[in-house]
Structure 1
Amino acid sequence: MSKAKKQKSAVEWLDEGYHLAESGELEKGIEYFKKALEINPNYGMALNNLGWYTAQLTGDYKFALKHCKKAIEIDPNNYAAQHSVGWAYRGLKDYKNAIKHFKISINKPDPLHYTDLGLTYISLEKHKEALDCFDKALQGDKKFYKAWNGMGIVYLNLMNYEKAIECFEQAIKFEPQYKQAWINLGEIYIELGHNKDAIKCFKHIVEKIDAKDSDVWFELGSCYSRLSRYKNAIKSFKKVVEFDPNNSTALYSLGMMYGKLEDPAKGTEFVKKSLEIDPENEDAKSVLKLLNLIQENLKNKI
């Protein structure tokens, strides 16, 4: 007779689920946390991980609150769950409760917990308190890129662009694949009128990190447009439409670019598509009028 297959314990389901979720397989990891809870319904870390990763996947912060709060009821010293509850409250824009739980979570110092507390202070425009949190996070781990990014956001809000750039560059140095820091850096360069530098940031994202981010493709197209590089802008805006077909702004932007290249007929096609999606879009209506005028002027030249 063959031996019966050994059943996994709740701890094993939790550990395997955690590694799956952290490697990007969120749905499979969530199923493993549920398996752990079938064995032990009061398993605090399984409740916490189920709430945290489900909200990461779906944005359902209320679901996270329900499960992570239950984990705290079982063990008030579950600092990971205290952090998760704070994070969920921040997602719901309940900053007072978010701060309350983040402050409990940092009883066990953790760079992520300090960083999330700092980000909550940013939402309340409490820049001094935010910087203090990021400093403490970096005291625990000077390479913690999310804290560098948070610090950069504070300096960006304070319009200290030089310091903000330094912080975002530190974030990228320690985690080259951290998309948000690249986006923030690109936005600063746009604010400063340095479109060529912004293009480098956004190109890095679509070439090395996330080729399907329609918002980044739009920013890239806008930078090319400001530099009068209309053919490059068209390629970028077409990428936006590829990944977000109902993006009316990208569609009428394509119309504008074709107008710049004196191809108003092609431009009109895109603007009409834009107006099919959003008939009340006044910007698209203005572009359509402009394209009609360009077309009339071209006819008069013949």
Structure 2
Amino acid sequence: MTTEPQSALLEQAMRAIARIDLAGARRYCEEALHQQPGDAAAMHLMGIMIHHEGGKAHEALGWLERAAAHDATNSKYQNSCGVLLFEMGRFQEAAQAFYRSTNLDGGDGLIWNNLGNALLRLGQAEDAERCFRQSLAVMPGLISAINNLGLALKFQGQLEKAAICFQEAALHQPGFVDAHFNLGELAYYTDDMEAATRYFRRAIEIDPNCRPAYASLAQVLHDQEKPAEALALLQDAVRRFPDDADLEFALRLQLSSMVPAWHIPMINDTERNRAYDAALRAAVSPGDLVLEIGTGSGLVSMMAARAGAGQVVTCEVLPALAEAAVETVARNGFSDRIKVIPKKSTQLEVGTDLPEKADVFVSELVNIGMLAPNMLQVLSHARQKLVKPEAKIIPAAARVYGALLECPHLARINPVHEIEGFDLSYFDRFRSPAYAQIDLAADPHRFLSAPFTALDFDFCTEMPMRDQRRLLISVRETGVVHGIAFWFDLFMDNTTTYHSSSVSRTNHWKQAAEFFLAPIAVAPGDELAVEVGYDNTRIWFKPIR
């Protein structure tokens, strides 16, 4: 290549990136670095070019970090590091990079917006709100910052203000799909299904590639008791986007919908019942107002009344269960103190459904893997809107444990492949996409690692609605890892803990297992990298290759 001035080489590289000539961009960057190895601008451009190539995030980040180290006064280099760290899911490090960038240049609204996004992912909604407001102070027309301000306000429970932000973003930029999607999410959250349907359909009209809108619209249709329409929508979405795991999960969930038959074994779970009873006896003072979410049979509400509550308000979304609970409460003589409301908890209002905010808040929303769909969102709403700041919360926290699992007999049907010489893989679509139940006291299995702590949850405080981290799990036995077995402790209060690892035959939860798509052979001394995380739907474990 003919020697050119450094500035010309960098300009040529930027033009090559713009026309998606990545090979050409790399040649210009390499020549620029050959001429001046310490040129921060060339390092920065090399990192951007490598990132555009895809699949080489760590290599790209290395160049960006070197550029930032060579020129510590350039805010753009720090911002680029933050953007890539954010894309990699390293939100704490991204926030630190954005902080450094704002300290160097506080007048760039885009950087403040980026910092707000990182803080929002870390669950720091108030700090994120301040960043978005600062972004708009220096760049008033930044529509994404208006939209993101709405997200920060929504996370803090300021739903009306959040709606104003989303509506303003949509008004100023009618084709801004995020605003319409967020309005749909907000409408769904407040149970305005007609509006939610309208906004999600509009988001899909604006951008047919807005994948989350398909799953959200299907959820709205499902909640409106339109299962055939929801199924058709999801089937179409999966045909459009065959590699989208979230849409596939939503489709599988719709296909596997069934009557909640677990209510009967649940009320027969002696250890679970006694843990709730002990916690309520310790928490409830005479005359307290107790709020319970998820009435079911009415058992926990009656425990609260028996413990001395002056009044118990409990809600149940399924009409048949609500009706049964009313009758059960009456038969046990508690009708004067237990009020069963056939609503979602997010529809309850203080002054209408509750005379005042509750003194004690009890729920049993967990499933076999601890975290049930929408559970964190429901708990957050209750803390913000329905219970006193000093209210006692049952359960107060949870810890999830796991271990590498070898379990051939269950792995054969998770997923379904060949059975008795026949290809039954098409039948696998009817298997629930969630984690499977396993009974570690009865199902033949081996642990190929020591148990480890996977996740901690504090139900008394606001937590991020999504989080993930990387674990290195040491292998202690030779075998084949089929997945992760996991279980949990529910900390009812400081003295009472329910252990889902119990081997009792009445333990209705048993334990959970996340089976990998392909088995992994291991030997002692190996370390298996696994991503563990959660969102508003489920906990997951994924091997990292």
| Alignment TM-score > 0.5, same fold | yes
Q: Counting helix residues as a fraction of each chain, which structure ranks higher? A: 1
> 2:429 maps to what in 1?
274
Matched, 1:68 2:64: yes
Following superposition, the deviation at residue 72 of structure 1 comes to: 1.7
Contact 1:110 1:137 survives alignment (8 Å): yes
Alignment match, 2:254: 253
CA drift of 1:76 comes to 2.0
SS class of match (1:40) = helix
Deviation at 1:186, TM superposition (A): 1.5
d(CA) in 2 for partners of 1:233 and 1:198? 14
Give the aligned partner of residue 157 of structure 2. Answer: 159
Which of 6, 31, 34 matches 2:26?
34
52-61 vs 110-119, greater mean Cα deviation: 52-61
Correspondence for 1:191 among 183, 189, 192 = 189
Structure 1, residues 105-163: CA drift from partner, whole Å, max 9, x if none?
A: 22222111111111222233333322221111111211112211221111111111111
Alignment partner of 1:77 is 2:73? yes
Q: CA deviation at 1:203?
A: 1.5
Call closer, same or farther: CA 1:280–1:60 in 2, change over 3 Å.
same
Deviation string, structure 1 residues 264-290 (Cα, Å, up to 9, x no partner): xxxxxxx944146959657xxxxxxxx
Return closer, same or farther for 1:138/1:32 CA change in 2, 3 Å cut-off: farther
Kept in 2, the 8 Å contact 1:86–1:102? The answer is yes
Single out whichever of 152-161 and 75-84 deviates more from structure 2.
75-84
Give structure 1 stretches of 5+ with no counterpart: 21-27, 258-270, 283-302
Query: Structure 1 residues 277, 47: closer, same or farther in 2, change over 3 A?
Result: farther
Name the TM-score, length of structure 2 as normaliser: 0.42
1:138 counterpart residue number: 136
1:1-302 aligned at under 5 Å gives the runs 9-20=8-19, 28=20, 30-41=22-33, 42=37, 43-52=39-48, 54-55=50-51, 58=54, 60-106=56-102, 107-108=104-105, 109-209=107-207, 211-242=208-239, 243-244=241-242, 247-254=248-255, 272-275=427-430
Bigger CA radius of gyration: 2
Question: Is the CA contact (8 Å cut-off) linking 1:237 and 1:251 kept in structure 2?
Answer: no
Cα distance in 2, alignment partners of residues 31 and 18 from structure 1 = 9
Single out whichever of 93-102 and 123-132 deviates more from structure 2: 93-102
CA deviations 1:26-75 (Å, max 9, x no partner) are xx254443132122024534533443465477465423320111222332
Deviation at 1:219, TM superposition (A): 1.5
Closer, same or farther: CA 208–7 of 1 in aligned 2, 3 Å: farther
In the superposition, relative to structure 1, how do residues 57 and 179 fare at CA in structure 2: closer, same or farther (>3 Å)? farther
Q: Would you say how many aligned residue pairs link Structure 1 and Structure 2? A: 259
> 1:14 is matched by which residue type in structure 2?
A
Distance 2:61 2:113 in 1: 20
- Given that residues 252 and 431 in structure 2 are in contact (C-alpha distance below 8 angstroms), is that contact kept between their aligned partners in structure 1? no
User: Is the Cα contact below 8 Å between 1:118 and 1:130 reproduced in 2?
Assistant: yes
Alignment check: 8 A CA contact 2:144 2:169 kept: yes
Q: Give the residue type in structure 1 aligned to 2:226.
A: R
Contact between 2:112 and 2:134, CA under 8 Å: does it hold in 1?
yes
Alignment partner of 1:241: what SS? helix
More contact order relative to length (CA 8 Å, sep ≥ 6): 2
Q: Is the 8 A contact 1:86 1:98 kept in 2?
A: yes
Contact 2:95–2:118 (CA under 8 A) maintained in structure 1: yes
Is contact 1:156-1:164 (8 Å) kept? yes
Mapped partners of 1:32, 1:170: distance in 2: 42
**Structure 2: which amino acid aligns with 1:238?**
Q
TM-score (norm 1): 0.71
Residues in 1 aligned to 2:21 and 2:138: alpha-carbon distance in whole angstroms:
29
* Partners of 1:151 and 1:161 in 2: CA distance: 12
2:72 partner SS: coil
Q: CA deviation at 1:239?
A: 1.4
Q: CA RMSD in A?
A: 3.5
Which 10-residue stretch deviates more, 147-156 or 178-187?
178-187
Instruction: Provide the rounded CA distance (Å) in 1 between the counterparts of 2:13 and 2:170.
Output: 31
Alignment-mate amino acid for residue 99 of structure 1: A
Counterpart Cα distance in 2 of 1:96 and 1:234: 38
Compare the two structures and name the one with the higher strand fraction: 2
